[in-house]
Structure 1
């Protein structure tokens, strides 16, 4: 079959809509070849999952048993062989995903996707993700480098088997061999996805320019003074008594309330250049969005029915096809871990071993700053050449100051640094040399106790996360590792001058980062909320850095309502869809003066709604539609598409409401009437006149879309996966409807519940399935379970695996 591409689809929209579509895609669309084509495609793309195979690079025999859901259980005699096998199965099941993500890090998408991907490549080359990965590799310890090398050998052994992922056939290219640096580069992309506030600074600069510095708190509300913090004042004060590892320092502490700096003026041309990078990141699914966060918590045995801890985690990230995570059970001589891995990384990222369990959520400290460089600042430059499929190469100049890359350059659309005005540099912990985060993740897999755990985390750089801990001995803990800059007299919320007056004063010493061991109340809850009370001596971020407090408050309420918690109680908490946001908005919204009979009917429906965001609820859809309209209240003041968060809207409705006025006229009461009518009009256009049929799940559906073909009409039906889902804005089971579409594009990408009384009774589940190919049997077999609140056994016992297939890997020549 001819798989040469036939040219790009000329449609407006993101680069994904204009990806070249092959003859293969057309045949699939038309069904011209019938069932035989599917059989042929599966035979030539599906990897071998049973039998025996000889491979170069192995030291001994390895058994890979895939369970009833396609999860591999790897049994090897050495750790190197176990990680080799993990690389082998990662490439077998997720080859396209791995190649795509390394092309993202390298800024080499246009080579295979064409001119439409140039803005992404400009962004990626200018920021220098791959260069940062190359600088990090030599800093890793000997064990990490050894395991990475074994992983690389396993990936390349699988690639050498000759099976080709469907995406490679459609785009007509053969992937290159995997290299060690490709493993490190993915961690840099995760650092961007979770670890900065660059986009906030760009928005804040626009807000301050139009509304003054006081406008920042109106558009993005500060964290409430009564909002829950992860650690209490007592726990922060007791840190010196807790077991600690890592260096100490006499670095100066920050004042409790830093002042905002004078912000250098940024003309519209410069802001446009900076926002071009944001748009490029959005096209890659790397943007910051409300609801992209996570929940995790750890419960001491004093609060559980078994007397042993329970640890839960559900990271909220982009929901893609294939899914981000890959469930795996990896056992060598010392390495014995099970949980969620990421294809491209040689470790279990979230999970457990026989003694220790861990979970992560985004801490979201401020680790990025924008510097407006003065005239005469010393800059270096380099040339980057971007290869473009079907066209001439494109050369760009990347300049750097002492702070980092000048990101106001290369904004896309032909914009160059001569057009952009002031030169704005990015300083970011993840771009600095000596990143040993991979040591930390591999070290967690080996940890046997709290000292091992904290020793591993002392190597952690970024993205800074909230790590919860539990062990079979009954201990629980929390640590927030990573490089967090020390700023004196400024809070990092706005761009600052690059004249030396606003420089970092080192990083918070590891031993003084927030942490607790065996807290007295037996409970640690994190939901991207504020980490420490105001008395903590360092500034982790400005008052607008943290997620709204609703999830943290709801989780704490549920977990403290039952004296002795079970795994079933924890499951119910993870799946909770009760909206505390609605509870706050309810009295204000229900007091709205209706502007029409349909508005009166909608208010009557909301009057009887209990705030539960279920797929069959009409009230849930009415509330989210109304909230979307209210979130646009700042657009006329800012002249852009700013979407305010729920707390900012609530503050306006409760207070003076300066942003409620439209065109300088009106008040919040008038805004409520107007936005309710607008929400009803929108839903009527989408769903018809019968309001009783406006159920939440009709519009609110998970959108696990392919990152390259998700918006290519000829292929989207094959690669994308949609279904109605419960949950909403700031519910524990986060499922925020996307503004304007109602789609759920982010959510609990993985769930785990670890029972330390019997670790093999633990549970986990992914959002879609193990396989990357849409034709594979395990492509989507976890999705309905995930939506319905079911789990898979997180067990190393063969009796729990159901029907299995076993592939035995043998060293070549033995």
Structure 2
């Protein structure tokens, strides 16, 4: 059935491309593509398909074995590390080549080479961010490390060995559809992949939105809307660590912070979705049934196909690790070995600052710095475009970094040329951190490994068979004076530069706290006792408090308890907001259709289970209410940061007559209750419209939410829509329409043998014509898991094994 569905959907897709696409240059040569012996037919695989099992591969030093279990997870056994990473590259490319290639081309600003001018804006964005420059800086650092250079070189050679073995009929279907061929791999592409993740998780331009905001509102109002931290926050480390170090001192400029005296009216880059985040926690043996620590993690990222992750076991002398890898980068990123386990969540810290550049004239060859004119560096980027001539983009580099916004890129009426200083541009070797983590045996090894990790900052949770649990907020963080980098900075004054970085040993951490657990969920990292200034936009306020409430109340915990908790659908935001919202509605005057919705919401238990309607009514109501409240932001002629949901609910309940609650375009002075009533009425009308157009079943939460695992190239037949799943953003099971737990892992650290469980919304194969392209999705959606067993070479006859590949040097 999978084979038939693939062929039918692809045939329809290709037919539509041929019929509807007038730019014949981006359509595959039809005869070649439809050739039954070489074209897309060769990408269809039956459910019982088994790849070739005996391979002679050029580049291997010795023989090796790869055992594939029934989920097609490879367990790679090699006699030395170079062969191990060579085979990791080879096997990953075998199943994920197009994904690896496409993501690194996107990071490098090269998608226009594939699809033409339609992608020029995206490519210019990534060139101007300095993504390629950042990857090249990382490559230099990786290759200067004798140990790491062997790893990334072997990994790259393994990928290239696979690429060189391919004929046209072997190419992934996306190459045939887009009519191009893969390039050979190199270590700089490993760097690009890591910068691709750094961009997704750490890039911000909220400084510019805050700059607009503080000029539109008085400072008291602005600080009320955008506090550095709310007193109700439950930080990652809260009074559990004594800071015994001497803080690194920096000079505070004579003017504490300076901002441009103009509104930045240019259209800014789109913000990263609020759904990107993660949960992780570890509980000590004192709280578990077995007496062993248990570690849990679930990073919340885009629900993509092929999946973001490729699960693998890597075994050679000195290493035996299992977990999720990033296709295109060696090592395991989240996983465990026979001594330790670790997982990560995004650590929200401000590691991007924006500087206003004053150029001498329109040539931009000189800019002002400390009263003098300093030469800028001009870089001309050639962006090749399929089907037409190249686009040449001129980018000017300053002391601070590349000028991203100028009069040629997203221009406004002003002259606010903005350069960015981003930690991701600096030399780094994050791959070394994961290489050492994969081999770590204890807490000391874990801390030593993390010293090499810079960006994107992550909350690394840890547990070991020795009984330790820990959390470290790890990254390369500039030492900042209060409010530094919160707004657009005066780039003419070098006093505003980053003077130093927080030493790794000063980073926020917790080791074996008295409460017997550690956790993080993208909230504020630390309480006010921490001596360094900490700031970021977008802190989470709900998942973290729910996690801590549950863990604090639990004892005799086992792995099954943790599975249930990772799939928890309790909506704390609704519990704190909905009763107040309902109190503002006069039930006695409601019409029958309004009363039905009111009662449904009144009886709802705040649990976003997939097959109920309460979450749908609440979601529509809160979304309309949010936009109704902040009409000043919606109607603004410049880009603004909007107040977060927690602040919004807090103001509704505590300051119902807050001045911004008054709707701008009405004569009446509205207060909180008026807005809630207006939003309720609009919600009912929207519900009725949806029911009329799509039927009553659309009100069921899973149907309304329409969780979709989307193909990277947005090819609909290669996507999986309507995944029946509960949860939502701000919920532990943070599954929204396009984002969610991209990998769930649970590990029990038993000295007699570590036990693991995991699942993710995808499949091991990147081939849409394979049964294993999406076979894990529905187990994931039901909250079920597969065991993650560290195999030995002699386990190749076990019942859970699908096939074995034997590799020999050519």
Say which of 679, 683, 687 aligns to 2:683. 679
CA 1:300 to 1:69, structure 2 compared with 1: closer, same or farther past 3 Å? same
Distance 1:467 1:262 in 2: 34
- In the alignment, is the contact (CA less than 8 A) between 2:357 and 2:416 conserved in 1? yes
Higher mean C-alpha deviation, range 756-765 or range 119-128: 756-765
Say which of 554, 558, 561 aligns to 2:553. 561
Output one character per residue of 1:264-307: Cα deviation in whole Å (capped at 9) or x when no partner: 134444x32xx1xx24xxxxxxx422221111001111111111
Is the counterpart of residue 341 in structure 1 residue 325 in structure 2? Answer: yes
Distance 1:24 1:573 in 2: 51
CA 1:200 to 1:236, structure 2 compared with 1: closer, same or farther past 3 Å? farther
Aligned to 1:303: 287
The secondary structure found in structure 2 opposite 1:778 is helix
Q: What TM-score, normalized to structure 1?
A: 0.88
Q: What TM-score, normalized to structure 2?
A: 0.88
Deviation at 1:36, TM superposition (A): 12
Gaps of 5+ in 1: 12-16, 241-248, 280-286, 737-743
Aligned to 2:674: 670
Say which of 468, 471, 477 aligns to 2:464. 471
Distance 2:517 2:576 in 1: 26
The secondary structure found in structure 2 opposite 1:235 is coil
Output one character per residue of 1:702-736: Cα deviation in whole Å (capped at 9) or x when no partner: 1211222x1xxxx4123444412200231111124
Output one character per residue of 1:399-421: Cα deviation in whole Å (capped at 9) or x when no partner: 011001101137657x5x9x761
Higher mean C-alpha deviation, range 319-328 or range 475-484: 475-484
Higher mean C-alpha deviation, range 346-355 or range 136-145: 136-145
Aligned residues: 761
Higher mean C-alpha deviation, range 201-210 or range 593-602: 593-602
The secondary structure found in structure 2 opposite 1:479 is strand
Output one character per residue of 1:65-104: Cα deviation in whole Å (capped at 9) or x when no partner: 1110111111111111111111111111111110111101
Alignment of 1:412-811 (within 5 A): 412=409, 421-432=415-426, 434-498=427-491, 499-542=493-536, 544-548=537-541, 550-593=542-585, 596-597=590-591, 598-632=593-627, 633-639=629-635, 644-654=643-653, 655=655, 656-663=657-664, 665-688=669-692, 694-708=699-713, 710=714, 715-736=715-736, 744-757=737-750, 759-797=753-791, 798=795, 802-811=800-809
Output one character per residue of 1:248-267: Cα deviation in whole Å (capped at 9) or x when no partner: x8621799xx9983421344
Distance 1:39 1:674 in 2: 56
Is the counterpart of residue 317 in structure 1 residue 301 in structure 2? Answer: yes
Deviation at 1:6, TM superposition (A): 6.7
Is the counterpart of residue 55 in structure 1 residue 35 in structure 2? Answer: no
Distance 1:232 1:645 in 2: 22
- In the alignment, is the contact (CA less than 8 A) between 1:337 and 1:351 conserved in 2? yes
Output one character per residue of 1:38-82: Cα deviation in whole Å (capped at 9) or x when no partner: 7533279x9973421111110111111111011111111111111
- In the alignment, is the contact (CA less than 8 A) between 2:573 and 2:730 conserved in 1? yes
Output one character per residue of 1:117-151: Cα deviation in whole Å (capped at 9) or x when no partner: 00011011111211111112222321111010110
CA 1:420 to 1:171, structure 2 compared with 1: closer, same or farther past 3 Å? farther
Distance 2:802 2:165 in 1: 22
The secondary structure found in structure 2 opposite 1:234 is coil
Higher mean C-alpha deviation, range 67-76 or range 500-509: 500-509
CA 1:495 to 1:316, structure 2 compared with 1: closer, same or farther past 3 Å? same
Aligned to 1:139: 141
Aligned to 2:5: none
CA 1:669 to 1:27, structure 2 compared with 1: closer, same or farther past 3 Å? farther
Distance 2:180 2:300 in 1: 33
Aligned to 1:122: 124
The secondary structure found in structure 1 opposite 2:499 is coil
Is the counterpart of residue 187 in structure 1 residue 180 in structure 2? Answer: no
Deviation at 1:688, TM superposition (A): 2.7
Distance 1:37 1:18 in 2: 18
- In the alignment, is the contact (CA less than 8 A) between 2:36 and 2:42 conserved in 1? no
Distance 1:589 1:18 in 2: 55
Higher mean C-alpha deviation, range 420-429 or range 465-474: 420-429
The secondary structure found in structure 2 opposite 1:631 is helix
CA 1:262 to 1:617, structure 2 compared with 1: closer, same or farther past 3 Å? same
CA 1:693 to 1:389, structure 2 compared with 1: closer, same or farther past 3 Å? closer
Distance 1:306 1:703 in 2: 38
Say which of 65, 68, 76 aligns to 1:74. 76
Distance 1:208 1:20 in 2: 47
Distance 2:137 2:251 in 1: 31
Distance 1:611 1:254 in 2: 49
Output one character per residue of 1:496-547: Cα deviation in whole Å (capped at 9) or x when no partner: 11122422121111111111222232210111111110111001215x4522
Higher mean C-alpha deviation, range 597-606 or range 106-115: 597-606
Higher mean C-alpha deviation, range 765-774 or range 516-525: 516-525
The secondary structure found in structure 2 opposite 1:775 is coil
Distance 2:388 2:346 in 1: 40
Distance 2:469 2:596 in 1: 51
CA 1:119 to 1:807, structure 2 compared with 1: closer, same or farther past 3 Å? same
- In the alignment, is the contact (CA less than 8 A) between 2:477 and 2:502 conserved in 1? yes
- In the alignment, is the contact (CA less than 8 A) between 1:487 and 1:503 conserved in 2? no
Distance 2:799 2:479 in 1: 49
- In the alignment, is the contact (CA less than 8 A) between 2:45 and 2:771 conserved in 1? no
Aligned to 1:263: 259
Say which of 139, 152, 160 aligns to 2:164. 160
CA 1:20 to 1:616, structure 2 compared with 1: closer, same or farther past 3 Å? farther
Aligned to 1:372: 356
Output one character per residue of 1:425-446: Cα deviation in whole Å (capped at 9) or x when no partner: 10011112x2122211111111
Output one character per residue of 1:317-357: Cα deviation in whole Å (capped at 9) or x when no partner: 11111110111111111121100001001010000111111
The secondary structure found in structure 1 opposite 2:606 is coil
The secondary structure found in structure 2 opposite 1:135 is helix
Distance 1:186 1:169 in 2: 23
Distance 1:409 1:8 in 2: 40
Distance 1:639 1:765 in 2: 43
Deviation at 1:560, TM superposition (A): 2.1
Deviation at 1:226, TM superposition (A): 2.7
CA 1:800 to 1:780, structure 2 compared with 1: closer, same or farther past 3 Å? farther
Distance 1:587 1:40 in 2: 58
- In the alignment, is the contact (CA less than 8 A) between 1:52 and 1:808 conserved in 2? yes
CA 1:449 to 1:394, structure 2 compared with 1: closer, same or farther past 3 Å? same
Alignment of 1:390-429 (within 5 A): 390-409=387-406, 412=409, 421-429=415-423
